[in-house]
Amino acid sequence: MSDSKKLSQPEWTLSRLQWDEDMKQCITSTNLIISFQEKQAFLSSSLNLSCLLFSLFFYSSFVIFCTFPTATTHTTRPAQHVSIRCCALTEPDVRPLKMSIDDQPLKTWGHLLNPIDYDTTPFIFTSKAVRFGNRWKEYQGIQNWEGLLDPLDENLRGEILRYGSFVEAAYRSFNFDSSSPAYGACRYPKSTLLDRSGLHQTGYRLTRHLRATSGIQLPSWAEMAPSWVATKSSWIGYVAVCQDKEEIARLGRRDVVIALRGTATGLEWLENIRATLSPLPNAHSKPRHEDSEPMVETGFLSLYTSGTDEVPSLQEMVREEMARVLQAYGDEPMSLTITGHSLGAALATLTAYDIKTTFKRAPMVTVMSFGGPRVGNRSFRSQLEKQGTKVLRIVNSDDLITKVPGFVLEEDAEVSKDRNVYVAGLPNWVHKRVEDTQWVYAEVGRELRLRSRSCPFLKNLNVATCHDLKTYLHLVNYS
């Protein structure tokens, strides 16, 4: 398409982004154009819509933009990715001091998997600190955040942003350079990670690095592939324990944080595609006769439970560290907050389930997830509720990743029909057949729903930026 060609109708363009220098000689940039009429026909079937959303989940790092016709000549703009630079928090009046969006070109193949720059500008927390005292359980969800979400309580807003900054630190600490021998590792040691990733004087001390391992078996020739393809195990987050006495007094308890980043490596990407449901191993409670057994997405379960001879599984690391933490601090008021974005949000939910299942003396467990996909079926949700695990899902209505994988039966959802793919008005025997496909998921926990397109500070939005953690934190800060 020439730069001066006038477009007579909207066209959706998926731009194949720039590859690494070593691949430029054999790969050329191409564009896939899907006409407006073809898009309408494709979306006419709810099954095809589910497939479209599902596909976009795994290609969310491609930049998607729409060109609309006007009376003037249009040109097709090159792919862009966005860096959102500043977010400030002031308590109790939490509002952005400055926001800007800068368009920057894509630099490396590593950015295709995670196309948003996690720049060194930290989220700034100024302290007129809130003392929670005996109300800390209320903000951790003991009453499912009743009366705190609409409108969003200012103290809860501050807590969401505070935990989101721990996830930001996980992104900033990850080595995204696929040409580096240390690709997939953590850039900083435990003693300096929080400070060097922009979180100063938090009162928390990092106690354990966490790694996730893919269970996908690669052929022998894959060892010669680029590191972003062949890396089976990579650093995914950390455990941090509040150690500062003043901060413990302010929070009303000792808080333990598990922070998990989103998808970064090729094998993690492939695990996302394994979107059918698999039974949870060693589920303690058997389902009722009319219910299915607890099941979760196959790829997420694989990343949580897989290990190698050299690297234990994420599950083993979490259990070992939690046993140590409970041994050291189990006799005092304590909370466990597991927070993550995208893939990290899904793994956070699995981690919470596993901890409550494994440890009888587990403290109050809260999940704060940002832009998380669906994780498990209705029985899995029921088990989370019986455990007392509290889940707050922060969802952007314009983020397609929160609408996949699979679909939700209408009877299982307490949200409006335009937010998910539904199968409505089906007799029981059809419901049973649908559930047997292992594609029927259920939403978990409480939802804080936001919308990026209603925020005047966010421009040039596409699939990648609607899903970006920085966008989520801006929306929480602005709402």
Encode pLDDT of 247-304 as tens digits. Answer: 999 999 999 999 999 999 999 999 999 999 999 987 655 555 445 799 999 999 999 9
467 is catalytic: yes
Mean pLDDT of 144-157: 96
CA dihedral 187, 190, 195, 199 (to 10 degrees): 100
Per-chain mean pLDDT for the chain: 76
| pLDDT tens per residue across span 406-459 | 888 755 444 444 444 444 455 665 556 666 667 889 999 999 999 998 888 887
Beta bridge partners of residue 83, listed in sequence order: 102
State the residue for tokens 């994420």: 314
173 is catalytic: no
pLDDT value, residue 285: 54
Catalytic residue among 399, 452, 468, 474: 399
Task: State the number of CA atoms in the 13 A half-sphere of 117 facing the CB.
Answer: 18
Grouping H, G, I as helix, E, B as strand and the rest as coil, residue 325 is helix
Catalytic residue among 60, 302, 313, 342: 342
pLDDT value, residue 457: 81
Mean pLDDT of 374-382: 95
Catalytic residue among 111, 341, 467, 474: 467
Q: What is the 3-state secondary structure (H, E, C) of 200-268?
A: CCCCEEEEEEEEEECCCCCCHHHHHCCHHHHCCEEEEEEEEEECCHHHHHHHCCEEEEEEECCCCCHHH
119 is catalytic: no
For CA atoms 409, 410, 413, 419, give the dihedral sign. positive
Instruction: Give the span between the Cα atoms of 99 and 89, in whole angstroms.
Output: 12
Mean pLDDT of 62-68: 30
- Is 70 exceeded by the pLDDT of residue 466? yes
- Is 90 exceeded by the pLDDT of residue 341? yes
Instruction: Give the span between the Cα atoms of 73 and 356, in whole angstroms.
Output: 60
pLDDT value, residue 346: 98
31 or 114, greater pLDDT: 114
